[in-house]
Structure 1
């Protein structure tokens, strides 16, 4: 009887240790091929606008998510870069990183192990995950900034010339409720408070990163105006409502520009301007007035929703492959212009071949 009890306890202990430790991350990394030594380390902090679409842990059981039946052919901008410019930008190895359970995350942290939370399948230096709010940049258990710093400490010399991109804010003040409030009053107190808090979290993240790596290069991405999203085209069709929303959104971008101003190692990516240069915007009256974007020689992408690549956004509302490919293209241009990284430009024909390699969608 005593032997059986001890055996049971031993099995339980081993099981607990397996759950706690799994295959230690350091051992998993040792099994992976080494990264290109000349590639610039590239990290991302943020939300679903940067979370890999091919994450089976997060989206494998959600058949409607990230492209639905076409998810295997739908791409996040981070995935485009990882596939096409891995020689120049190193986002870390692809794998399963983090833990599913909040308490287990805290326990692993207490034991000096990696308590990254939540779990996802992605490139290792991409700490963005769906549903993130700005507080997740700096507050536990997610604390994306602290998690990234821990990764950077593993190879500090590689991060001396590294790049970190921060893209977040939609879940704080970019959804229907906030946009509706801003459409009536650009100074709506609850929304403005969330905007200001978000800027503060981003500023704190930048300060924390810079305290450890003074020469780290950081890109701050402005907020996308979801009033341009096809699901909201029927709303806010007045000049005043549109002006109010733009004024409210501008408060956030102004906050980020103030952080970037005068710092040669920082850059601002204007997401609203990027979209307007391609798809356009609404008329002065507030009515939708978007043009189609040429993607390749004859394929066109409209500001509509659907999982096929002729739509700018997927059925679940996230950016489609053409959008993300063109966004990655613009980011590479910004990195080269700002810091002379010498990354080969992403030509549109190359992007078309990546998104539609077999010609199924008629892009080539």
Structure 2
């Protein structure tokens, strides 16, 4: 009798698990989460800087979001890598993951399922979502690191030499309010406290990931200076203000560099240096005067906002397709140079052919 009861409970539990799985998860499990045989797992923790633009669930109803009328031809860096380098870096299958209901999220977590919250369409191992703050990396309800680990544990072998990118912080201390405070005082208490808290959250995520997968490779992305964002060009046009902002944000980057120090399987990606090498920075006076980036033979990209691909950022403020393509290109270079990966470098012509296969965007 006891055996019958245990068997019944087991069957009920299995049935509940099946019902709680999203269609994407059922499909994934049906395929045994095979993935590309020679690809390593590729995971992401973060915010809208890494959330896939082709998430129709979250962006489909907002006609102005992520490229507006050009959204189907506008790409996030994660999507560019998934389309062009999935044979080497596997972000998992595309699908609808998680739930929009908090209580169901908790139940799914308790059953060892993907309880990620909020729900989104993306690649399985991309936990980043729009609006995320540093606390969402490890907090019980959102727990990006924990949800990624749940997915990783289903195929632990491919994460022995896997890669996780952590890119977050803009929503915490990259705001106009925080930059304004830093412009007056590089040690302003509120933004400094937010930076220090974010470094702690990132350190905790690294410890959790590496505790489960000691040889996992991790990329820590430094904070972009939003004073160089097209929307903020009218602000902080003085040498002292800009110097204070740079000095203040350097605290966060230094914190990440300290996490990476002495560990050759952790790399730091300097986002400010990357942007400066392409578009430059403001003049010493603080005046926003930037270079034009040539992408391909006849295509110029300026540090302006708009949904056409000649703008560095989109009308909604997020990185444009060319920005994301060049960022993905640099990330691959970092992975190869720092970790010794053999990912084929992303070539400009290759990215152009993906972004504009029929030449309708005029980037030729």
Q: Which whole-Å CA distance do the structure 2 matches of 1:237 and 1:348 have between them?
A: 34
| Corresponding residue of 2:26 | 27
User: Could you tell me how far apart the structure 1 residues matched to 2:207 and 2:174 are?
Assistant: 25
Mapping for residues 230-269 of structure 1, pairs under 5 Å: 230-269=230-269
- Taking a change above 3 Å as real, the CA distance of residues 183 and 345 of structure 1, as seen in their structure-2 partners, is same
Gaps of 5+ in 1: 1-16
User: Would you say the 8 A contact 1:94–1:121 is kept in 2?
Assistant: yes
Give the CA deviation at 1:113. Answer: 3.3
Helix, strand or coil at the partner of 2:154: coil
Aligned length: 349
Partner residue of 1:126? Answer: 126
Find the counterpart in structure 1 of residue 3 from structure 2. none
Question: What is the CA distance between 1:23 and its match in structure 2?
Answer: 4.3
User: Is the Cα contact below 8 Å between 1:20 and 1:108 reproduced in 2?
Assistant: no
Deviation at 1:107, TM superposition (A): 2.2
Q: Find the aligned partners of 1:124 and 1:324 in 2 and give their Cα distance.
A: 20
Deviations 1:249-272 (A, max 9, x none): 100000000000110101000000
How far did 1:109 drift? 2.2
Instruction: State the TM-score, normalized to the length of structure 2.
Output: 0.93
Using a 3 Å threshold, how does the CA distance of structure 1 residues 68 and 25 change in structure 2: closer, same or farther?
A: closer
Answer yes or no: is 1:338 the counterpart of 2:338: yes
Task: Say whether residues 1:285 and 2:285 are aligned partners.
Answer: yes
- Check whether the contact 2:25–2:97 (CA below 8 A) recurs between aligned residues: no
Q: Distance in 1 between matches of 2:112 and 2:296?
A: 50
Using the TM superposition, give the Cα deviation of residue 114 of structure 1 relative to its aligned residue in structure 2, in angstroms.
2.7
Q: CA deviation at 1:20?
A: 6.1
CA drift at 1:78: 0.2
- Is the contact between residue 165 and residue 219 of structure 1 (CA under 8 Å) also seen in structure 2? yes
Once the two structures are TM-superposed, the CA of residue 34 in structure 1 deviates from its matched residue by 3.2
Task: Return closer, same or farther for 1:292/1:26 CA change in 2, 3 Å cut-off.
Answer: closer
State the distance in 2 between where 1:109 and 1:297 align. 50
Q: Secondary structure at the match of 2:281?
A: strand
State the Cα deviation string for residues 209-231 of structure 1 (Å, max 9, x = none).
Answer: 11111111000000000000011
Aligned match of 2:162: 162
Distance 2:147 2:106 in 1: 13
* Alignment RMSD (CA, Å): 1.6
User: Does the 8 Å CA contact 2:24/2:95 hold for their aligned counterparts?
Assistant: no
Q: What is the SS of the residue equivalent to 1:206?
A: helix
- Separation of aligned partners in 2, 1:19 and 1:346: 40
2:223 aligns with 223
- Provide the rounded CA distance (Å) in 1 between the counterparts of 2:105 and 2:18: 11
Post-superposition CA distance 1:111-157 (Å, at most 9, x none):
44331211000000000000000010011111001111111111111
Q: After TM superposition, give the deviation of residue 31 of structure 1 in Å.
A: 4.1
Q: Determine the C-alpha separation between the residues in 1 that align with 2:354 and 2:24.
A: 31
Separation in 1 of the partners of 2:60 and 2:19? Answer: 24
CA distance in 2, matches of 1:155, 1:52: 23
Aligned residue for 2:296, secondary structure, equals coil
User: How many Å apart are 1:43 and its aligned residue?
Assistant: 0.2
Matched residue, 1:307? 307
Contact 1:239 1:285 in 2 (8 A): yes
TM-superposition CA deviations, 1:293-341 (whole Å, max 9, x none):
0000110000000000000000000000000000000000000001121
Write the distance in 2 (CA, Å) between the matches of 1:260 and 1:218: 9
Shift of 1:234: 0.8
Q: Secondary structure at the match of 1:231?
A: helix
Q: Secondary structure at the match of 2:214?
A: coil
For the Cα contact (< 8 Å) 1:20–1:104, is it kept in 2? no
Distance 1:87 1:19 in 2: 30
SS of the residue corresponding to residue 52 of structure 1 reads coil
Aligned to 1:14: none
Q: Tell me the TM-score normalized by structure 1.
A: 0.93
